[in-house]
């Protein structure tokens, strides 16, 4: 799915296919390839695990042990994918907010862009959405960072309301200033 289609369709979900779950016969399914709704599917997994859990775990462990190279390759490919990287970044933000006990509300980078656009809220110039997200690589300074209006270190929540899009460098400079001034307050 491209960035654009996510913005256009919101969640990216297709409209109803008029398929009904063959188990509960109530919930609709939005996937051509599935026969069970999400809750029923999860229930089936749980049943299968409680009956054959030990065997499933043993087989899975065995498969991993037999082919560690593939397991590593899959993990690497995932954490290098854009989706994997974003999940990584949002996990880190949530973790910081949780440690600081500020709380968080789940949001995605797409939602931030959809709500606030692609202008850096700190300097007012356009953000390069194709810049590398890795410090030191291809125009990274002008790439997207999620800036917290009230920094997590100052009690800010990790939520859509408390973030704005910014340039990576603008965000870093602002963060450093913020840290300096809070250090002065402590002195």
N-terminal to C-terminal alpha carbon distance within the chain = 50
DSSP string across 49-68:
HHHHHHHHHHHHHHHHHH-H
- CA-to-CA distance for 28 and 80, rounded, in angstroms? 34
What is the nearest approach in angstroms of Zn ion to the Cβ of residue 117? 13
**Lookup: tokens for 104:** 């968080």
150 binds Zn ion (CB under 5 A): no
Stretch that binds Zn ion, among 4-12, 30-38, 97-105, 175-183 (CB under 5 A): 30-38
Q: Which of residues 151-180 bind Zn ion (CB under 5 A)?
A: 167, 170
Choosing from 19, 20, 27, 94, the residue that interacts with Zn ion (CB under 5 A) is 27
Q: Which of 19, 23, 34, 154 binds Zn ion (CB under 5 A)?
A: 23
Which one, 2 or 33, has the nearer CB to Zn ion?
A: 33
Q: Report the alpha-carbon distance of residue 108 to residue 186 in Å, rounded.
A: 34
Q: Indicate the residue among 40 and 112 with the shorter CB distance to Zn ion.
A: 40
- Residue 114 belongs to what H/E stretch? helix 109-116
CB of 147 to Zn ion, least distance (A): 9
Does the protein bind Zn ion through residue 41 (CB under 5 A)?
A: no
Nearest CA among 170, 168, 148 for reference residue 159: 148
The span of 36-44, 60-68, 89-97, 178-186 binding Zn ion (CB under 5 A) equals 36-44
Report how far residue 94's alpha carbon sits from residue 73's, in angstroms, rounded to the nearest whole number. Answer: 27
Angle of the 68-80 helix axis to the 82-99 helix axis, nearest 10 = 80
CB atoms within 10 A of CB 66: 10
Figure out which of the listed residues 24, 74, 77, 176 binds Zn ion, where binding follows CB under 5 A.
24
* Of residues 84 and 132, the one with the C-beta less far from Zn ion: 132
Contact stretch for Zn ion (CB under 5 A) within 1-9, 59-67, 73-81, 117-125: 117-125
Q: Which residues pair with 147 in a beta bridge?
A: 164
Tell me: does residue 40 bind Zn ion (CB under 5 A): yes
Sites of contact with Zn ion (CB under 5 A): 21, 23-24, 27, 37, 40, 120, 122-123, 167, 170
């Amino acid at each position: 799915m491209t960035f654009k289609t996510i913005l256009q369709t919101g969640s990216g979900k297709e409209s109803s296919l008029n398929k009904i779950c063959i188990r509960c016969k109530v919930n609709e399914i939005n996937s051509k390839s599935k026969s069970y709704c999400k809750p029923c599917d999860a229930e089936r997994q749980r049943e299968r695990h409680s009956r054959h859990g030990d065997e499933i775990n043993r087989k899975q462990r065995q498969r991993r042990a037999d082919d560690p190279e593939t397991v590593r390759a899959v993990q690497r490919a995932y954490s290098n994918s854009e989706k994997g990287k974003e999940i990584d970044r949002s996990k880190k933000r949530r973790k910081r907010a949780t440690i600081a006990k500020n709380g968080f509300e789940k949001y995605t980078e797409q939602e931030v862009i959809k709500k606030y656009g692609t202008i850096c809220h700190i300097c007012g110039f356009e953000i390069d959405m194709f810049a590398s997200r890795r410090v030191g690589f291809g125009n990274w300074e002008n790439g997207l960072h999620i800036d917290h209006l009230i920094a997590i270190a100052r009690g800010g929540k990790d939520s859509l309301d408390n973030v704005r899009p910014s340039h990576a460098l603008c965000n870093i400079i602002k963060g450093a200033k913020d840290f300096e001034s809070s250090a002065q307050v402590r002195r």
